[in-house]
Copies of this chain bind each other. A is one copy, B any other.
Amino acid sequence: MRRLDEAGNFDNLRLATGKAQGTYRGRPFADTDIYKTLEGVAWERAREPSERLASWQDETTAVLAETQAADGYLNSYFQFVGGGRDRFTDLGFGHELYGAGHLIQVAVAARRATGEDGLLRVARRFTDLLVETFGPDGQPGVPGHPEIEMALVELYRLTRHRPYLDLARYFVDARGRGLLGPGQYGPAYYQDRVPVREADGIEGHAVRATYLAAGVTDLFIETGERALLDAMLRQWNDMTSAKTYLTGGIGSRWNTEAFGHPYELPPDRAYCETCAAIGSIMWSWRMLLATGEARFAEAIERALYNAFAAGTSLDGTRFFYVNPLQLRGGTPADHERHPAHGRQPWYRTACCPPNVIRMLSSLHHYLVTSDETGLQLHQYAAGTVDAELVSLRVDTDYPWSGRVEIAVLATPEGPWTLSLRVPAWCGRVEVAVNGSRPGDEPRPGEYVRLRRPWRAGDQVVLDMAMPPRVTVPDRRIDAVRGCVAIERGPLVYCLEQADQPDKASVDNVLVEPDPGGLRAVDRPDLLGGVVAIEAPGRLDRSEPTEGLPYADWIPNSAAASTAARPAEPSPVRLTAIPYYAWANRDAGPMRVWIPTG
């Protein structure tokens, strides 16, 4: 909240109302930093009442209502800088519809979380203007940055006002037909190259792509149009099988913050924007709702514990924009967003920190679902699950331990199904109900489904073995050939310089690829308490070459192959930490993928 003040976001609103004089600060979509923070505030208040948060929400709502134009329009940049005359003239890069989407999302969140509808009135006035302006009979156009699609469907869910759903459908239908023009990055950048239903792969700006996909999946959920789900499955498969990092991060390219080609997954130049991890979680969540398939919950888990979690410092005050899987020693920090700078308290384009805020504040929404058969636990966290008639207590130290204890606190009469997700990484798993093994054998990558008439006091124990694992990349990922990674449970591990023996530069170590040699070590002292993993490695002491870093291969001549083969590898004990915790000491050398020889 303080950062928003300092960065000028509220001043921008005051400029738009004419209450202040000055210069607009930040990007044209600066209002959305307020919206996303406000969304976090609303969810936080639902979790725990706070007068301070309540009054901030009230004041901010009042300022927004005051800023809103008479006809419902609301965007401080276009209202102030363009004097309101440029409205909707730059849909490709103006971000007005993107802003409207975030306004709608926070309005829905505020209503659901706190029952207040001040923001909802503001959002509906703007949305009604959009319904009037766009759509089949209005101004043709689609947003350059998707976001409003999922917001409109959510507003429809809250209000059952059909024009909102129709507008969402219009924005989806009109996409990929050239309305945005090529822009400066070509139509693929903002998913306007092919119509949504015809797209086979995922492409372009990773946040735009996943936000759009989340909205399209929402639209399928409300309309049941199978062509939408088919397109989403094709794109999700393309993303997952060839364009996703081990951390669950997406977006291989700094240039246009975009997905790369299939298997283009460089660890050092990975962009993996924190917002893109959030986008992938939001999309996979909707795919989970649409299908009930465990793989979508699996993808959420991977992104959540790794690509997303790494975006925030352990003390919660600093944020990464970019989350690579490797940082070499001496890497110059040549860009504000470059991780060699370490996490930053804020950014000139400040999309990520407020997005982290609202994701963390609403995280409990992503854990459990219910349907007519019963309850489904997708992610494991200690706490209480209160559904309409069922109440459960979950005790677990997950992700440090794979043991999850579930106590039934309240239950209706008659049988219902408690579904527990068994992650695909889980090689050995046991489940017990009141001490006995049920008939249904748990299988990795599926749900174990426990159907019975439950009684208060019933105890379920899910015990997932969590040995450290060695992970190998598909050989098509050229950038990490000859390397392995270390994982344990849902956590991806990395080598960070601070944990290695002095002599062992992370840039120069090799690891033995034998999982039998890995040892999980409880380290309450380290980085707020982690399970570290010790691994036998070797140290390469060869010096940098002079001249070109290429040499002749001369068979059977060790000397002639020095360029490729390390000289004098010597044993060393390596310590890996969870990837999410890196760069909390300094942003020194780090790598997830470690060469084996």
Given contacts A334-B186, A555-B514, A561-B472, contact A241 B548 (CB under 8 A): yes
Contacts of A94 in B (CB 8 A): none
Q: Do A553 and B475 touch across chains, with their CB atoms under 8 A apart? A: no
A554 nearest in chain B by CB position: B515
Residues A335-390 near B (CB distance < 8 A): 335-336
Q: Do B472 and A563 touch across chains, with their CB atoms under 8 A apart? A: yes
Give the interface segment out of A58-66, A77-85, A412-420, A476-484: A476-484
Q: Do B332 and A261 touch across chains, with their CB atoms under 8 A apart? A: yes
Q: Do B550 and A474 touch across chains, with their CB atoms under 8 A apart? A: yes
Q: Tell me the complex Cα distance, A84–B321, Å.
A: 41
The reply to whether the CB of A536 lies closer than 8 angstroms to some CB of chain B is no
Q: Do B241 and A549 touch across chains, with their CB atoms under 8 A apart? A: yes
Q: Do B553 and A595 touch across chains, with their CB atoms under 8 A apart? A: no
Given contacts A203-B332, A481-B481, contact A507 B476 (CB under 8 A): yes
Q: Tell me the complex Cα distance, A552–B255, Å.
A: 32
Q: Mark A33-72, 1 if CB is under 8 A from B, else 0.
A: 0000000000000000000000000000000000000000
Residues A540-570 near B (CB distance < 8 A): 540, 542, 544-555, 561, 563-566
Contacts of A177 in B (CB 8 A): none
Contacts of A593 in B (CB 8 A): 478
Give the interface segment out of A3-11, A226-234, A266-274: A266-274
The reply to whether the CB of A93 lies closer than 8 angstroms to some CB of chain B is no
Contacts of A295 in B (CB 8 A): 547
Residue from B475, B485, B554, B564 within 8 A of A474 (CB atoms): B564
Q: Do A595 and B475 touch across chains, with their CB atoms under 8 A apart? A: yes
Q: Tell me the complex Cα distance, A481–B330, Å.
A: 21
Q: Tell me the complex Cα distance, A548–B204, Å.
A: 20
Residues A479-521 near B (CB distance < 8 A): 479-485, 507, 513-516
Q: Do B268 and A261 touch across chains, with their CB atoms under 8 A apart? A: yes
Q: Tell me the complex Cα distance, A585–B595, Å.
A: 37
Residues A170-213 near B (CB distance < 8 A): 185-186, 188-189, 203-204
The reply to whether the CB of A469 lies closer than 8 angstroms to some CB of chain B is yes
Q: Do B565 and A475 touch across chains, with their CB atoms under 8 A apart? A: yes
Q: Do A540 and B475 touch across chains, with their CB atoms under 8 A apart? A: yes
Given contacts A472-B551, A481-B482, A549-B473, contact A269 B266 (CB under 8 A): yes
Query: Can you report 25 A-B residue pairs in the complex whose CB atoms are below 8 A from each other?
Result: A186-B336, A188-B332, A203-B332, A241-B544, A242-B544, A254-B255, A258-B334, A261-B268, A261-B328, A263-B549, A326-B478, A425-B552, A469-B552, A470-B552, A472-B551, A472-B561, A472-B563, A474-B549, A474-B564, A475-B540, A477-B549, A478-B479, A478-B480, A484-B553, A515-B552
The 9 closest A-B pairs by CB, nearest first: A474-B549, A472-B564, A254-B255, A470-B553, A482-B482, A481-B482, A255-B255, A472-B553, A474-B563
